[in-house]
Structure 1
């Protein structure tokens, strides 16, 4: 699987914006779903895709709030979606499939901030694994009929360079043993996003449905990063002493428009027409890098780690996820 995991030479840079990544691409007649597409990088992706003619549907837990957030963007629908609630996921997919419209792109963007203390959903599942991974896994499988109907579709799982710092806790993915650590739970969920893209591509490429994992960079101002508080953001080199964002795309610190660029690149770029099951960053396929590199205020490692691209682990996660979804609440 890692044979495709090498840069294409796309010509884009870490500073490329979503608008620039879509330059020259006409999305008229294309149907796209963006979970969490009303806030942060999701909103910027929604705005850029709609500007190119796409019909974008946003999945949001609070539809009224989402509609207000995108009221200035034409060509956008909003539908209720709570990724922590399996019934809500099934209802969203059921409504969408009932329209009979093909689905050309699914961008799984929504995520929950890492809680300081372990939190679980109604099934007892650790909330980051439940929302960031399992909810999207359930949604993607449920939307397969619409994706197949497109005659060429893409699923983009929004991940993070944090995937480098954890594998899957096969025997205890929900941290029930009492060793919960919020950043490790986040890293596990982001590793799961990459492995799911690999597993999806292995299964569905023959149907014309390709899977990608996209790292947007670190975007200051999103709910995920703001949860760290000013002290944490300042220590990480993400805000300055006055509280202003530190923007340094080459170091992975981006604006929302720059962060959304890799999402829309994965969703639309013709350069990826023969690719799939790969991890993207900076509007290109990322290089492999398995060297253990610490995160510092000046360096945020985010290249692809081979453990997150391993096809055997992807198969194992797919099977585990199916079992977890089949278990009664």
Structure 2
């Protein structure tokens, strides 16, 4: 099992997706990128396609995705809504019907802080349902194709915000506690990390490896649309004129820099034989000491919290996810 510690990849915070993909040949490989038409998903799609992969982008809004992906030859768009279980199953069934292996699955889509409590049709809190549960369902429905690849990688895009909250198993959906946007989003990002850890352990025998990552703080991704300019300024993400502040040394990146770690996790030979780890800046992230306060954003922007890589929590989340999807009584 890989230790949660940097390997000295030679890349860094300012590395772009194009730099990571340089020299990598993905001809004959198939990749699916959720959220692949916006935010960091767009340069992720562009990089994988530039290396020769067949790239499929499932999107809730086909027309919007087609407009964003215009000019990237060979990208296929399929309709899918991560908050709709029926839509996820339909997409997976269409792909499996082709009989093709799936070599790369990048779970990049997601919603950010919602300032008011929102639920899906099942009554599940929307951040958790979309960011984690939708991707859990998609990945497991596609598992036969991932197994067929005999060396697939699954990449879960998480965030430093995982430090805000562990999984509150007693009240995941905020039915008995006050709703706080930061806690809801943070819990969903912790779930991304724990899912990758559990998936890697279960998939290793089938040649599947899974990774999670922090892409950096990137304002222009759509995730910040629910945050006011005042909040974005207070976080140091935009200046007085509303312009995003780019400072990779402080994990404040462009979308191309943010996508680099996703592409590195999905394709780098440096990670051969490894898996189940949380990455950032195109390297494995260090483990943040337990004594560090969880509200110290700067510390967690440089590592992963203990609660997000806890093996027992990862196993428990897996079982809870199956129960919430009705796969296990």
Q: Distance in 1 between matches of 2:119 and 2:226?
A: 18
Q: Which string of whole-angstrom CA distances, capped at 9 and with x for unpartnered residues, describes residues 2-29 of structure 1? A: x511101000010000000111111111
* 8 A Cα contact 1:202 1:277, kept in partner: yes
The structural deviation recorded for 1:226 is 3.3
Q: Distance in 2 between matches of 1:305 and 1:255?
A: 24
* 8 A Cα contact 2:117 2:125, kept in partner: yes
* 8 A Cα contact 2:115 2:226, kept in partner: no
Q: Which string of whole-angstrom CA distances, capped at 9 and with x for unpartnered residues, describes residues 144-175 of structure 1? A: 01001111000000000111221111111000
* 8 A Cα contact 1:162 1:302, kept in partner: no
Q: Which string of whole-angstrom CA distances, capped at 9 and with x for unpartnered residues, describes residues 181-240 of structure 1? A: 011000000000000001001101100011100110011211112321211111111111
* 8 A Cα contact 1:252 1:300, kept in partner: no
**Structure-1 residue corresponding to 2:106:** 107
**Structure-1 residue corresponding to 2:29:** 30
**Structure-1 residue corresponding to 2:262:** 263
Q: CA RMSD in A?
A: 1.5
Q: Does 2:214 correspond to 1:180? A: no
What is the correspondence of 1:65-144 to structure 2 with a 5 Å cutoff? 65-144=64-143
Q: Does 2:247 correspond to 1:224? A: no
* 8 A Cα contact 1:251 1:299, kept in partner: no
**Structure-1 residue corresponding to 2:272:** 273
Q: Which string of whole-angstrom CA distances, capped at 9 and with x for unpartnered residues, describes residues 59-102 of structure 1? A: 11111211111011012001111111100010010001111111
In the alignment, structure 2 segments of 5+ residues that lack a partner are none
**Structure-2 residue corresponding to 1:292:** 293
Q: Distance in 1 between matches of 2:72 and 2:301?
A: 34
Q: Which string of whole-angstrom CA distances, capped at 9 and with x for unpartnered residues, describes residues 262-319 of structure 1? A: 00000000011111000000000001113225446x7763411121111111100000
The structural deviation recorded for 1:113 is 2.6
Deviates more, 1:225-234 or 1:255-264: 225-234
- Secondary structure at the counterpart of residue 195 of structure 1: helix
Task: Give the TM-score taking structure 2 as reference length.
Answer: 0.96
**Structure-2 residue corresponding to 1:237:** 236
Q: Does 2:252 correspond to 1:253? A: yes
- Secondary structure at the counterpart of residue 40 of structure 2: helix
Q: Does 2:328 correspond to 1:324? A: no
Q: Distance in 2 between matches of 1:300 and 1:123?
A: 33
Task: Give the TM-score taking structure 1 as reference length.
Answer: 0.96
